[in-house]
Amino acid sequence: MGDLGKYLSDAGTRGAIWQMLLEHVYLSLLPLVISVVLAVVLGWVCHRYGWFRGALLGTANIVYTVPSLALFAIIPAVIGTQVLDINNVVIALTVYTTALLTRPVSDALDAVPVHITAAATAMGFRPLRRFLTVELPLAVPVLFAGLRVGSVSNISLVSVGALIGTGGLGVLFTDGFRSRYLAPIIVGIVLTLLLALLVDGLLVALRQWLTPWNNLKGAKA
Amino acid sequence: MIEFRAVTKRFDDGTIAVNSLDLTVEAGTITVFVGPSGCGKTTSLRMVNRMIDPTSGTILVDGKDVLSVDPPTLRRGIGYVIQQAGLFPHRTVLDNVATVPLLSGWSKGKARTRAAELLELVGLPAELGKRYPVQLSGGQQQRVGVARALAADPPVLLMDEPFSAVDPVVREGLQDELLRLQAELDKTIVFVTHDIDEAVRIGEKVAVFREGGILAQYDKPSELLARPADDFVAHFVGKDRGYRSLSFVDASGVEIGTVPTVVVGEPVADAVSEWRLAVDERNHPRGWLAPGTTVDGRLAEDVLKPGGSLFEVGQSIRGAMDAALSSPSGLGVAVDPDGSVVGVVTATQVLAVIEGQRESRG
C-alpha cells in the first residue's frame, strides 16, 4: 500500500492517469452511442422484414464470437487504417455493441402489442412518426437492458486495446506487468470498476427519466 | 353517412372476407355489424378508414370515395376505438386523448384543453389525466379509448369490439354510457361485435354477417328478432329471441294492481294469509312475507323471502315479464324511477297485453 501512495503522489502520474481515464471514457462510450443508432436501424429492419432477420442476427452472433484482440488486428486490414489507429478500437467496439443490441431492439419492437400499433395507425400516424413516437419509446426498457450490458462490456474491452497501444486505462496494466509494479495495476482495476459502476448508474437514471410509465404496474387507482 | 357499394375483399390466400357488400349506414345512427368470427364484420369496418383496402367496390364517407384520400389524413377524420382500448402505455391519459389533435397540428396547450373536456364528457375525473393507462381499470381505459376517438370531433366513429374485454357488468355500464354520449353527440357510429345481445341493445340498425362475408340481414333490432330473414339469422339471434324481442314492446298497456304491504320494523297485526310485500320506511321493496309466516312482534328482514327483479314503470314489457317470473309470489313489483313501490303486475296480465298487441297488429 505504501507503493500505491508513492505511485499516486507524483503529479505527473496523476495527470497521466486522468488522461487515460478520459481516453477510456471516450473509447468505450463513443461506440455505445454509435451502436444505439445502428442497432435501432438494424433492429427495425429485422422487425420489419422477417427474411432479413435470420441472416442479420446470425451474422451478429458470429461477429460476437470473434476475439477482441483479433478484431483489433483485422480491422486495419479490412478498412486500411494504421495498425495503431485509435479508430480501430472504436470501430471494433461499435461492431460488438451493435451485434449485442440488434437482437433485443428487434425483439422489443416485435413485442409491442399489435392492438397498440393498430390503434396508432388508425389514429392517423404516418409510419416514421409511429416508429419514433410509439414503437421506439416502448422498446426503451429492453434497449437499456442491452445498453447496460454493452457499456460494461465495452469498458472492460477497451483495456484490451492497450495491447495494441491505443491508450485508456489498459495502459496501466501493460505498464504494471512490464515493470512488475503492482500499484498501476491496482489503480487501473479500481478506476475501471468505478467507471463501469458510474456509467451503469447513469444509464439506470436515464432510463427511469425516459420511461416514467414503466414499473407502474400494480399501482392501480 | 357511409355507403358500401358492391364491396369485396379477397385476401392473398384466396379467402373472401367480404362478398359484394351493399349497405348504407345512415348519418347520426349507431349501426352494429354482428356475426360469428370470420364473417367479415371487422374487415368491413377496417375498410372504412383504409386499415384494409377493398379488392373491388367503393366505400363512400359523406359522399367521398375513401380511396381518393391519403390514408393518414382520412384516419384523422374518423374516430377509432379498438379492442382492449389500445392506449399508448408510455403516454399519460391526457396525452393519449390529445393524440389526434396533436397529429392534426393543434398546439399542445389547445390539444390538452380539448383532451380535458373529453375526459369530463366520458365521465372520468380530471385528475386521472396525469396517470398512465396501466394505472386505470379496464372500464376506465375503455372510456379513455372512446375519449381519444372523439377528441378531434370526427363525424364518424368506428368501434371494433370495444367492450369485449371487460366484464359483463362494466360492459353494460359502457354501453349505457355510449348511448348517453350518442344522444348528445349524434355521430355516425359503426360498432362491431360478436355478441347479439350487445348488438340489439345498442344498435339502431343491425347488420348480421355470415361466414364468407355475406350480409344475411340488415334491419332494426326488433325486426331482426321478430322476423329473421332465414335459418342462419334465426339461429344466430338465439333460441330465446321471442323473449328478448319483448325489449322492444311498450309496457304501457300493462295494468298495475295493488298489493298489501307491511313495513319492516313495525308489528304485523293480523295472521298472514296471502303474499304481502315488505317495504322500508321510504316505500322501497325489501322482500316478500309468505302466507302462513308467523311474525313475532316487529317484522324483521330475516323472515322475508328475497324479491325478484324490479319493473321500473316506463321500461319495456320484458322488464314487467321478468319481474313477474322472478318474484316468489308470482307478483312482479313495479317501482317508480325513485325506487318506490307503485304496485304489482302478473305474468298473465303481461301475456294478455302481448297477445292483444299481436291481434291489433293483425
pLDDT digits (tens, 9 = 90+) for A104-127: 899 899 989 988 999 999 999 999
> Which domains does chain B possess?
2-248 (3.40.50.300), 261-361 (3.10.580.10)
Q: Does some domain include residue A163?
A: yes
| Whether B174 contacts B142, CB under 8 Å | yes
Domain that holds residue A140: 2-210
Task: Flag whether pLDDT at A189 surpasses 60.
Answer: yes
The owner of cell 350487445 is B198
| Whether B278 contacts B246, CB under 8 Å | no
Exposure string (b/e) for B228-238, b if CB count within 10 Å is 16 or more?
Answer: beeebbbebbe
Read off the pLDDT of each residue in A150-160 and give the average, rounded to a whole number. 89
Q: What pLDDT is recorded for position A1?
A: 57
Chunked mean pLDDT (size 10), chain B, 362 residues: 95 92 95 92 95 95 94 94 90 95 93 94 92 92 93 94 85 90 93 91 94 93 89 85 79 86 83 85 90 82 86 86 88 90 89 79 52
Q: What pLDDT is recorded for position A217?
A: 61
Output the 3-class SS for chain B.
CEEEEEEEEECCCCCEEEEEEEEEECCCCEEEEECCCCCCHHHHHHHHCCCCCCCEEEEEECCEEHHHCCHHHHHHCEEEECCCCCCCCCCCHHHHHCHHHHHCCCCHHHHHHHHHHHHHHCCCCHHHHHCCHHHCCHHHHHHHHHHHHHCCCCCEEEEECCCCCCCHHHHHHHHHHHHHHHHHHCCEEEEEECCHHHHHHHCCEEEEEECCCEEEEEECHHHHHHCCCCHHHHHHHCCCHHHHHHHHCECCCCCCECCCEEECCCECCCCCCCCEEEECCCCCEEEEECCCCCCCCECCHHHCECCCCEEECCCEHHHHHHHHHHCCCCEEEEECCCCCEEEEEEHHHHHHHHHHHHHHHC
Q: Does some domain include residue A44?
A: yes
Instruction: State the pairing for strand pair B156-160/B188-193.
Output: parallel
Return the residue of A nearest to B104 by Cα. Answer: A124
Q: What pLDDT is recorded for position B266?
A: 85
Q: What pLDDT is recorded for position B361?
A: 57
Q: Does some domain include residue A216?
A: no
**Among the partner residues B82, B99, B132, nearest to A216 by beta-carbon distance:** B132
Read off the pLDDT of each residue in A13-18 and give the average, rounded to a whole number. 89
Tell me whether B69 touches chain A (CB under 8 Å).
no
**Among the partner residues B75, B86, B128, nearest to A116 by beta-carbon distance:** B86
| Whether B102 contacts A124, CB under 8 Å | no
Q: What pLDDT is recorded for position B360?
A: 67
**Cβ-Cβ contacts under 8 Å for A55 (sequence gap 6 or more):** none
Q: What pLDDT is recorded for position B301?
A: 83
- The letter for the amino acid at B239 is K
| Whether B178 contacts B219, CB under 8 Å | no
Q: Does some domain include residue A215?
A: no
Q: What pLDDT is recorded for position A219?
A: 46
Q: Phi first, then psi: what are they for A77, rounded to 5°?
A: -65, -35
Q: Does some domain include residue A94?
A: yes
Q: Does some domain include residue A220?
A: no
| Contacting residues of A for B148, CB less than 8 Å apart | 123
Number of domains in chain A: 1
**Among the partner residues B72, B74, B137, nearest to A221 by beta-carbon distance:** B137
**Among the partner residues B72, B90, B128, nearest to A126 by beta-carbon distance:** B72
Q: Does some domain include residue A98?
A: yes
Q: Determine the Cα angle at B187 with ends B245 and B225, to 5°.
A: 10
Cell matching residue A104: 433485443
Q: Does some domain include residue A218?
A: no
Query: Do A122 and B136 lie within an 8 Å CB cutoff?
Result: no
Distance from CA of B182 to the nearest CA of A (A): 20
CATH number of the domain encompassing residue A112: 1.10.3720.10
Read off the pLDDT of each residue in A85-107 and give the average, rounded to a whole number. 88
**Among the partner residues A115, A129, A220, nearest to B137 by beta-carbon distance:** A220
Query: Which is it for the CA torsion A35, A38, A39, A40, positive or negative?
Result: positive
User: Which of B50, B83, B90, B118 is the best mutation test for A, with the most CBs of A within 10 A?
Assistant: B90
Query: Do A138 and B82 lie within an 8 Å CB cutoff?
Result: no
Chain pair A-B, CB pairs under 8 angstroms:
73
Distance from CA of B49 to the nearest CA of A (A): 7
Q: What pLDDT is recorded for position A71?
A: 82
Query: Do B75 and A116 lie within an 8 Å CB cutoff?
Result: no
d(CA B136, CA B144): 9
Report if pTM > 0.95. no
Query: Do B91 and A122 lie within an 8 Å CB cutoff?
Result: no
